[in-house]
Amino acid sequence: MEKTFHIRSEAGRQKFSQPRIALVHYWYFRHRGGERVFDVLADIFPYADIFFICYDQKALPSNLRHHKISSSFLNRLPQVKRYYRSLLPFFPIALEQFDLSGYDLVISHEAGPAKGVITRPDTRHICYCHTPMRYLWDMYHKYLSSAPGAIGKLVYSLSCHYVRNWDYQASARVDQFVASSLNSAKRIHKYYRRDAEVVYPPVDTTKYAIAERPSSDFYLVVSPLVDYKRIDLAIEACNRLKRRLVVIGDGEQARSLRRIAGPTISFLGFQPDEVVSHYYSNCRALLFPGEEDIGLTPIEAQASGRPVIAYGKGGVLETVKGFSPGMYSVP
């Protein structure tokens, strides 16, 4: 029997006959690559309801605010955006508390946890996965080594053991995995033993332009300042070569990276899209020193007509034309 229901749009209430759709994302506190992909999913399914483990209303773009949004009990904790990553042991129960029994299609979107929601037997659950959680799987020992003190390491290892087992079991709840790159698909197969279709993430290349006379007197990094991005390597290289480097982005490593930066390094913090576009168009090259699932900034830099100097592993091998291992010389 066909279901009929009412939905709200900008034009007012209208009556439609269509499946009910839910979009599930992990957390939304900043507007980074993963969030940009999720924004597009929300545009593709404008009448879908959205579920976050936790989020900041102020961080949401206007297109998301028209959706019905629900969050987990973790979002009610005071100042949660300062320590949400420390709530790792509570993510499974937070996701499983979402009531998705009224939905015909569930699309979970993750580089963190999202696929662990529970659906009806006849609900189609598609997971768009950038990578299995790094801090549980391929980068577990690196994150463990950075945990503070013996007690911190013990708590982290016990938490990860519990959540890792849950994460693997939760992968069986997904009907179809979709990966953001061949690199991501390999990780999904490695850790979940599941095949994944590859659908590359959208990038609006029309926002970027090739400068008529680029200044080309500086190198550029556009990235969250977190450990696995390896921004320290870009800074150390430019320190040694005395080359100018502009770093756009913010994150937990900002203070430590500023400490190792020499006089030729400039930190601009988080910047709006139009500012980032200007720096893309005028840089000598984008530096991309980390191993990424796919990496959107190399695509954006190339859309601006600028070359990319990257670490020769991961998703960048699928997006930078002419890249070959061994091309490590600095122009």
Find the CATH number of the domain harbouring 241: 3.40.50.2000
Q: Is residue 194 part of a domain?
A: yes
Domain boundary among 182, 198, 214: 198
Q: Is residue 86 part of a domain?
A: yes
**Banded pLDDT at 330 (limits 50, 70, 90):** very low
In this prediction, residue 327 carries a pLDDT of 45
Q: Is residue 242 part of a domain?
A: yes
What mean pLDDT is predicted for residues 80-98? 93
Say whether both 45 and 157 belong to one domain.
yes
Say whether both 68 and 185 belong to one domain.
yes
Q: What residues make up the domain containing 89?
A: 5-198
**Banded pLDDT at 4 (limits 50, 70, 90):** very low
- Over the stretch 107-120, which tens digit does the pLDDT of each residue have? 999 988 999 999 99
Say whether both 112 and 59 belong to one domain.
yes
Domain boundary among 198, 218, 243: 198
Domain boundary among 198, 217, 249: 198
The number of folded domains in the chain is: 2
pLDDT score of 239 more than 50 = yes
d(CA 108, CA 51): 9
Say whether both 222 and 274 belong to one domain.
yes
pTM: 0.83
When comparing pLDDT for 42 and 9, which is higher?
42
- Over the stretch 12-26, which tens digit does the pLDDT of each residue have? 444 445 899 999 999
In this prediction, residue 159 carries a pLDDT of 93
Range in 43-57, 95-109, 214-228 with the lowest mean pLDDT = 214-228
In this prediction, residue 67 carries a pLDDT of 95
Say whether both 175 and 264 belong to one domain.
no
Say whether both 283 and 146 belong to one domain.
no
pLDDT score of 9 more than 50 = no
